Amino acid sequence: MLRRLALVFLTVALLLPAESQPQVNRLIQPQRAQQPNPSSQGLSLSEVSLDKVSFNPSRNDKLILTYRLSRDAKVSIKVFDPDRQLVRTLATNAVKKAGVNREPWDGRDLDGKVVPNEAYFFTIEAEDSAGGKGVYDPLTFSGGEFGDLTQGQMDRESGTLTYQLSHAARVLLRAGLGSGLLLKTIVDWEPRSAGTITEYWNGKDEDGLFDVPALKGTTMVLTYMTLPETSVITIGNDNTSYRVYKKGLAKPRPTKEDRLTNARKISPHFMKSRLADRAFKANLLFPDLDKAGSKTVLPPTISNTATLRVAVSDADREVLQGQQFEIMVFIDTAFLLEQERGYLPFNFPLEVSTLPPGEHTITINLITFGDQIGVGSRKIKVAR
């Protein structure tokens, strides 16, 4: 196998062979803010920017938010997380002069804790002495625009995948087969800065049973949705994940005020919770053959038929809550059956009489109608 492999990223809907894909690498250009012009007739906010696209609060790094006021005003500045909940209030009715103003953020939340690695955005509200108001809310005009990348490169020796983004975005990168089988979610709607992006992947599926790039018909799927303007990505917090951090809060934080947005087309994933809009693990069990209490999952030996149970952990049930889903079953990557369900666990008789003796791999794709996918694989032994 060649050391460097050209990858073609395909949309799930297309599933076209690589040779028929257009060789393009284009990201939708997001709509830019219509910044008001400073005017003596009223208050305006403009020229909002950040001095960094990412920073490491764990190393005491700081970020500077810059903005311009057309006249003196009282200003309130807030930081929000990707679920649009308040992270920190940087200023409350602070008196600011006309012209350029700056506000630092140290990457800490309301409790003084370093925030988890994620993407955060800012809102600015201003009011002058005459009652004139100005609001900067990037969600009203930016973020959520989506598409698919069709070019990238994989280096098997270093275990890297490389691609280009022209705008900061959340990325979903999946690997599977052109037949529709998903084997690995490599990047799960994680924020990435604009530029050359390098992801690391050892080439294995979720359970480490397949060398995915070596399989015939391997397909890479890379989808993105842009981040709101003036988003910043925090890095360096190895102590907690976003999910653990959010679940550890004593009470829910206030949610950002809803405001009218422009008419841009946004991804259906854009406004979903980052806690539940994610991949999850599908567990494969053989209740009649697995040894109760055993920590070692051995391939069960089946001669004719065995009951296969598909389940998820309690921690992953929030992904499925209130959703219909379907279960697809594959044997040795070949499609076996499909069932539409609304509950788990799901039990069905696995018939192996048509399989040759020896070791085989069962793979489950559990797919919600909201496009969250759980994957699980397990080996079995067929004996006569």
**pLDDT, tens digit (0-9, with 9 covering 90-100), for 334-384:** 999 998 877 888 999 999 999 999 999 999 999 999 999 999 999 999 998
Domain for residue 192, yes or no? yes
Mean pLDDT, residues 273-279 taken together: 95
Three-state SS at 157 = coil
Domain for residue 349, yes or no? yes
Domain for residue 260, yes or no? no
Q: Is the dihedral of CA 54, 258, 104, 49 positive or negative?
A: positive
**pLDDT tops 70 at residue 73:** yes
| pLDDT band of 265, cuts 50, 70, 90 | very high
Domain for residue 78, yes or no? no
User: Which of 167, 201, 230 marks a domain boundary?
Assistant: 230
Check whether residue 187 and residue 320 sit in a common domain: no
Check whether residue 303 and residue 212 sit in a common domain: no
The whole-number pLDDT of residue 91 equals 98
Check whether residue 215 and residue 294 sit in a common domain: no
Q: Strand 346-351 and strand 218-226: pairing?
A: unpaired
Average pLDDT, the chain: 89
Task: Determine whether 262 is exposed, middle or buried from the number of CB atoms within 10 Å of its CB (0-12, 13-18, 19+).
Answer: exposed
The total number of structural domains in the chain stands at 2
CATH number at residue 291: 2.60.40.10
Looking at the chain, list the stretches that DSSP marks H as alpha helix, in order from N- to C-terminal side. 242-247, 317-320
| pLDDT band of 42, cuts 50, 70, 90 | confident
User: Which of 230, 265, 300 marks a domain boundary?
Assistant: 230
**pLDDT tops 50 at residue 15:** no
- Residue 258 · residue 353 · CB < 8 Å: no
Sheet holding 305-311, edge to edge: 283-285, 305-311, 346-351
Mean pLDDT, residues 268-285 taken together: 95
Mean pLDDT, residues 108-130 taken together: 97
The whole-number pLDDT of residue 322 equals 83
**pLDDT tops 90 at residue 16:** no
The Cβ of residue 23 has, within 10 Å, a number of other Cβ atoms equal to 8
State the DSSP string of 205-263.
-TTS--BGGGSTTEEEEEEEEEPPTT-EEE----S--HHHHHHT-SSPPPBPPP----S
- Residue 77 · residue 39 · CB < 8 Å: no
Domain that holds residue 151: 4-28+143-230
Domain for residue 256, yes or no? no
**pLDDT tops 60 at residue 4:** no
Q: How far is CA 215 from CA 212, 331, 366, in A?
A: 5, 14, 21
The Cβ of residue 94 has, within 10 Å, a number of other Cβ atoms equal to 14
Check whether residue 203 and residue 337 sit in a common domain: no
How many percent of the chain have pLDDT more than 90? 81
**pLDDT tops 50 at residue 18:** no
**CB within 8 Å of 224: residues ≥ 6 apart:** 27, 146, 147, 148, 149, 165, 169, 170, 171, 172
Mean pLDDT, residues 121-142 taken together: 96
User: Which of 194, 213, 230 marks a domain boundary?
Assistant: 230
Domain for residue 204, yes or no? yes
Domain for residue 300, yes or no? yes
Check whether residue 150 and residue 222 sit in a common domain: yes
Helix, strand, coil % (nearest 5) of the chain?
A: 5, 45, 50
The whole-number pLDDT of residue 293 equals 62
